[in-house]
Structure 1
Amino acid sequence: MIAIAKSAVNSFVTDSNEALELKLVRDVSDLENETTTFKPEMSHQIFGESESIFGYRDLKIKLYYTAAKLTTYLGISYSEVVDPKKCEGIEPDDVGKLIAEKLQPGFHTNLDDFCNDLAKDVNFTPFGQLERSFKTKGNENSPPKCYEVYFCDITNPGFASFHERLQTFILWYIDAASFIDVDDENWRFFVMYEKYLQGGSARHAVVGYMSLYQYFAYPLNIRPRISQMLVLPPFQGRGLGTELLRTVYQHYVAEPSVLDITVEDPSERFQRLRDFVDVANCSMLDAFRPEELHAGFKSSMVEEARRRFRINKKQCRRVYEILRLKHTNIQDARQYQSYRLAVKQRLNVPYKKEMLDRQKLKKLLDDFEYEATVTFSSAAQRMEHLEQQYREVEAEYRHVLDRLEDRG
């Protein structure tokens, strides 16, 4: 009987990533077009770590946005809902409430009303000032496409409301995401759109965005920090993230008060993108010529990278290591060993700091307290860990160099 009851409960469990479908709707015909549907990468920030929903069979969650204004529709359907009396008294999850708490009030739950509002997208004008416009190369299967990036802040009328809808996407694509208070005047935004023709008129479709917070840097400078960056799934794989980051660099390089650009807790994906852009840029600088790279990391590299591209010192060190790897002949044992030692010396800095801290602590504690407080590792264990760190770093760097080579 217990097995039967458990089976009955499990039959009402749905994978929340599979149940949810998103769309950016340009035309009513997109509603029935499966190719315009995209899925979340994660849903634990709404439905919990298990990323599952209890209480329904054949559950479908439709979260649709008009492509320009991001007017929102939430639709929920299912073939059967659980009877708590037959499932140990367990109530079904309130799916609508869980999602609605994250959406801007006033979203549609009636598809006809959503379609009526879709027509208003024709009057949409991007917020802020046009920062950059560019076209991608077409091919036999896809014509060239035009993209625009707009720079804006909270002073742009209507943007705060638009951003409230825009930022809901991060829940499905950025881990540990949190909504930001755009009322803070130090926030800056770069929003990318695809510009296209429909019915003979120019239209815009949201592609993605980047948010930055402008921190004060003594005495009269600014240090922008990248907070969030997202290119929506329908537009991924086109190099648009690279173009968005380059646009941000171009904007801030033109501002003399900006010292450098930092990144708040970068994901592995974003770090790889950042490495690619920074390495491509710095490879053209005199300070990063092959002969300079083999001579070691220098302050001249930091100064030129900061002046030309607002790259900070920590990121400049990564760029140096990647470019030095590019120009290192791994068949030359001495040259390759020199490179590995240079990287390992940098990786070993935290360990050396830890050892200094231990020495200070030992002076303050007796032997018993010291041994109870400090965790020891042998020299062999430390060397093994350092070697593993190096292998992981080199693999990351080679991924960046492979992409550079593919670009030609």
Structure 2
Amino acid sequence: MAGIIHSALEQYKCDANDVLIFKLVRDVADLGNNEGFRPEMCHQVFGDQESIFGYKDLCIQMYYTAARLNTYLNITYTGKVSPDKNDGLKPDDVIGALSKEIPPGYYTSIDDFSASVAKDATFKPFGELLHTYTVGKEGRERQFEIYRTDIACPGFRDYHSRLQTFILFFIDAASYIDVDDDRWSFYLVFEKYKHDGSVMYATVGYMTVYSYYAYPSRVRPRISQVLILPPFQKQGHGAHLLQTFYNRCYGDSEILDITVEDPSEDFQRLRDFVDARNCMALKSFKPDKLRKGFDEDMVREARTKLKLNRRQIRRVYEILRMKATDHTNKKEYTQFRLDVKRRLNIPFQKNGRDFEKLQKALAPDELSATLSCMTLPQRHQYLEKAFEDTTEVYSRVIERLNMC
């Protein structure tokens, strides 16, 4: 009997990632099309299992006006668990869970939301225009703009409170920042387009940067959150956004170097591409210099001209040396491989930041098992696997560099 009841209730259970749909609405007509995008994750709202119980054929609608990001939240379903008929089992409070994360003032009436779409016609981007560029897509050129602002800009605080809701669904381990700290700055990407003869804007993505103090009298900006919304991904916007931020830093003598807070694999790959592309123009990173090995000239030039930190400079060096290496030349490729493996072997030397990072990440017995108890063949096997994984990542960056 219990099995029958369990089977009957399975129809009321669903994966939150499958039933939540986002939509950026530029025109009321957009409400009637099938365009939209799904979240990459929902565990930060609906728990580790990312499941929702209590509804049959559930659909969660989170719609945003494209410019102001005024929000509409609604759920639909064809059936719902009744506590009276299901031993007191209650459906999950979907709206309650989402309303804790999105700012007050969202719409629950589709008619009211539809009326708000027209307000986007008067929207103007926040802050200072830093960069304009075009992207060719579907046989036409689309125009984009990047702005820098801070939380004091009129109207931006409310806009940002709506914009940041996306990070819960697209950035793992994301959390909302303390916008009252004036050391935060914001870089925003908008598409600029015409609709019915009027100039309009649509939100594309954004980046947050925090300025840390660097002894004795300088600052160290740290990139925190970076998000390009799914409809605009794989179009080069991330590279434009990062390079625009870099360009603003280059001429600032107070900036020591640029860091990144816990970069995702996707962002690290983007960072590698932009940094490698910039370093290719430096004298110390020319192919003949790269083949001689990593040196302090590279560190000095990349830090002085590009504000890169030493760890990232070393990483870019390896990418560009791999690019400059003739893989059919056994001696040349062996020298490259040994150079990378020497760096990968550093944690085993029980010194440096890599070993310290392992100490923090692993319990003492785990660290001992990982390092001290490894036999020499096991260490060689580990290093070979690490080298293969590293060069696989590098090859994707090099592939993109070759397309420039």
Q: TM above 0.5, one fold? A: yes
Cα deviation for residue 191 of structure 1 reads 0.3
Give the whole-Å Cα distance in 1 for the aligned partners of 2:226 and 2:368.
40
CA RMSD of aligned residues (A): 1.9
Question: Partner of 2:217 in structure 1?
Answer: 220
Question: Partner of 1:4 in structure 2?
Answer: 4
Give the whole-Å Cα distance in 1 for the aligned partners of 2:87 and 2:208.
46
Give the whole-Å Cα distance in 2 for the aligned partners of 1:142 and 1:373.
55
Give the whole-Å Cα distance in 1 for the aligned partners of 2:289 and 2:87.
71
Question: Partner of 2:63 in structure 1?
Answer: 64
CA, structure 1 residues 255+29, in 2 after alignment: closer, same or farther (shift >3 Å)?
same
Cα deviation for residue 106 of structure 1 reads 1.0
Cα deviation for residue 93 of structure 1 reads 0.4
Question: Partner of 1:112 in structure 2?
Answer: 111
- Please state if 1:196 is matched with 2:193: yes
Cα deviation for residue 97 of structure 1 reads 0.2
- Map Cα deviations across residues 88-122 of structure 1 (whole Å, 9 max, x no partner): 43211000000000011111101111111111111
1:109-188 residue pairs with structure 2 within 5 A? Answer: 109-137=108-136, 141-188=138-185
**In 2, are the aligned partners of 1:44 and 1:51 still within 8 Å (CA)?**
yes
Q: Which runs of 5+ in 1 are unaligned?
A: 359-369
Match for 1:41: what amino acid? E
Question: Partner of 2:399 in structure 1?
Answer: 402
CA, structure 1 residues 123+337, in 2 after alignment: closer, same or farther (shift >3 Å)?
same
Match for 2:190: what amino acid? Y
**In 2, are the aligned partners of 1:8 and 1:87 still within 8 Å (CA)?**
no
Please give the secondary structure, in 1, of the residue aligned with 2:136. coil
Please give the secondary structure, in 2, of the residue aligned with 1:181. coil
- Map Cα deviations across residues 200-219 of structure 1 (whole Å, 9 max, x no partner): 11111000000010001112
**In 2, are the aligned partners of 1:45 and 1:171 still within 8 Å (CA)?**
yes
- Map Cα deviations across residues 47-93 of structure 1 (whole Å, 9 max, x no partner): 11211110000111110111111111101111111123443432110
Give the whole-Å Cα distance in 2 for the aligned partners of 1:373 and 1:49.
27
After superposing the two structures, state which structure 1 stretch, 50-59 or 324-333, moved more: 324-333
Question: Partner of 1:52 in structure 2?
Answer: 51
**In 2, are the aligned partners of 1:260 and 1:311 still within 8 Å (CA)?**
yes
CA, structure 1 residues 354+10, in 2 after alignment: closer, same or farther (shift >3 Å)?
farther
Match for 2:67: what amino acid? A
Give the whole-Å Cα distance in 1 for the aligned partners of 2:216 and 2:351.
32
Cα deviation for residue 372 of structure 1 reads 12
Match for 2:27: what amino acid? D
* TM-score (normalizing by structure 1): 0.93
Cα deviation for residue 234 of structure 1 reads 0.8
Give the whole-Å Cα distance in 1 for the aligned partners of 2:345 and 2:109.
59
Give the whole-Å Cα distance in 1 for the aligned partners of 2:278 and 2:366.
50
Question: Partner of 2:361 in structure 1?
Answer: none
Please give the secondary structure, in 1, of the residue aligned with 2:333. helix
Give the whole-Å Cα distance in 1 for the aligned partners of 2:310 and 2:337.
20
1:233 to 230, 235, 250: 230
Please give the secondary structure, in 2, of the residue aligned with 1:145. strand
Question: Partner of 1:81 in structure 2?
Answer: 80
CA, structure 1 residues 86+133, in 2 after alignment: closer, same or farther (shift >3 Å)?
same
Match for 1:236: what amino acid? Q
Question: Partner of 1:365 in structure 2?
Answer: none
- Please state if 1:262 is matched with 2:246: no
Give the whole-Å Cα distance in 2 for the aligned partners of 1:226 and 1:95.
33
Please give the secondary structure, in 2, of the residue aligned with 1:108. coil
Give the whole-Å Cα distance in 2 for the aligned partners of 1:222 and 1:373.
34
* TM-score (normalizing by structure 2): 0.94
- Map Cα deviations across residues 113-148 of structure 1 (whole Å, 9 max, x no partner): 11111111111111111111111235xx33101101
Give the whole-Å Cα distance in 2 for the aligned partners of 1:212 and 1:372.
35
1:19-30 residue pairs with structure 2 within 5 A? Answer: 19-30=19-30
CA, structure 1 residues 121+373, in 2 after alignment: closer, same or farther (shift >3 Å)?
closer
Give the whole-Å Cα distance in 1 for the aligned partners of 2:261 and 2:8.
45
Cα deviation for residue 295 of structure 1 reads 1.2
Question: Partner of 1:103 in structure 2?
Answer: 102
CA, structure 1 residues 2+354, in 2 after alignment: closer, same or farther (shift >3 Å)?
farther
CA, structure 1 residues 11+242, in 2 after alignment: closer, same or farther (shift >3 Å)?
same
- Map Cα deviations across residues 226-279 of structure 1 (whole Å, 9 max, x no partner): 001000011112111111111111111121211111000000000111111111
Give the whole-Å Cα distance in 2 for the aligned partners of 1:237 and 1:195.
18
Give the whole-Å Cα distance in 1 for the aligned partners of 2:267 and 2:315.
14
Question: Partner of 2:359 in structure 1?
Answer: none
Cα deviation for residue 44 of structure 1 reads 1.0
Equivalenced residues, count: 392
- Please state if 1:32 is matched with 2:8: no
Please give the secondary structure, in 2, of the residue aligned with 1:84. coil
CA, structure 1 residues 167+336, in 2 after alignment: closer, same or farther (shift >3 Å)?
same
**In 2, are the aligned partners of 1:328 and 1:335 still within 8 Å (CA)?**
yes
- Map Cα deviations across residues 147-171 of structure 1 (whole Å, 9 max, x no partner): 0101011221221111111000001
Identity %: 48
Give the whole-Å Cα distance in 2 for the aligned partners of 1:66 and 1:352.
55
Match for 2:111: what amino acid? D
**Aligned structure 1 segments of 4 or more residues deviating by more than 4 angstroms:** 370-374
Question: Partner of 1:367 in structure 2?
Answer: none
